[in-house]
Amino acid sequence: MYKTIEQQVRKHIAPPALRREFRQHDFENLHSFCLLIFCVSIGIWILFDLIVSYRGGQGFTYLSMIFITVMAILTIVLAFTRKAGHFDLLNLVFVAVITLAMRLVIEGLPVDIRPAWMMLGASSVLYSISVLPVRRWSFFAAILVTWINLQPFQVPGLHVLDLRGTLFVCYGLFLNGLILYTYLKMRRAKLYNFYMSKLLLEQAYVDVLTEIPNRRSFMTKAQTHLQEDNGQNRYLAMVDIDNFKKVNDRFGHDTGDLVLKRTAANIKASMTEFEYARLGGEEFVIYLWGLSQADAEQRVAALCQRVREDAAEHPVTISIGLTRILQDDNLTHALVKADEALYQAKHGGKDRYVLWQAQAQANL
């Protein structure tokens, strides 16, 4: 199963909506990590600036204070940022500021070691960007900004054709290639994993044939509603397709599958604001809330009529057992009562609904 889904994912490009969902999900998961990267970057830069300023005799200038203030503000903004698209722009601004700040400090070093420190600074920034949840345009823009601000050939006396210059060019190309490969591979792998998790979740909670929720999904959601809807009128309806076995025996299982899909589509269209699912076989279940008894009966009666009047090949009817969920009822007890009412509907003529009554059950 896992291998089949993996092959399906790799053969299909993730739709744009899924990619947007993935980017937001990835950013939310890594939000604290992004904050950590910003804070650590500021901390390391301040330490380096202090070392160069006091041990190198450069002095801690007002420009250093401006850079610290701007980076601190960007970090605070990140703490309140909740959208991945906003982080793409925020990260790009942060990269521009911190690379300029690095250049300020590096210019206080001796000329002969400045190119090496520029390459070291660029390496650190580019590696950090590669593991952050940014889109491609932001990633490539950050690379461009980094090399504009920390390009070692802006140091006087360093030329491309020199030995040191050639080594820097080779290292820069190797670094860019490695960072780019790592970024693209990591993003692709994370997108595949997110895509597969979505498909596996659908397999677990959606009925494959009818494409509506399955029993597991319904039991989870209905149980949540039972705990939250204590003050509302709540009803449970069990739905069964009449004479479904005869349809299968006479026309085959393919036709039976079509009948199941059509019935599920009618339930979905009629009960779209409520919880519904296929329990198994030809049985479906609906959880209704916020309705009076008359309204609940009207809704299930309308569903019976809709299925009956569905102008399609191999028409069918349905029977429905409806019960009100009392204050002390649990989901299992409600299902039992709805099933008892369904039994009455099936044995009382079919193509109708029956409301569960305690007195009626006592007479059975």
Residues noted as catalytic: 282
Residue 238 contacts residue 345 (beta carbons within 8 Å): no
β-strand 275-280 against 318-324: which pairing, if any?
unpaired
CB neighbourhood size of 117 (10 A): 21
Q: Any bridge partners for residue 318, and if so which? A: 241
d(CA 132, CA 127): 9
In the sheet that holds 234-241, the strands lie side by side as 275-280, 283-289, 234-241, 318-324, 353-355
C-alpha 212/C-alpha 269 separation (Å) is 11
* Closest by Cα among 151, 35, 42 to 98: 42
d(CA 135, CA 19): 10
DSSP string, 79-125: HT---HHHHHHHHHHHHHHHHHHHHHHHTTS-GGGHHHHHHHHHHHH
353-355/318-324 β-pairing:
parallel
Nearest-angstrom CA–CA distance, 41 and 46: 9
Burial of residue 140 (number of CB atoms within 10 Å: 0-12, 13-18, 19+): middle
Percent of the chain that is helix, strand, coil (3-state, to 5)? 70, 10, 20
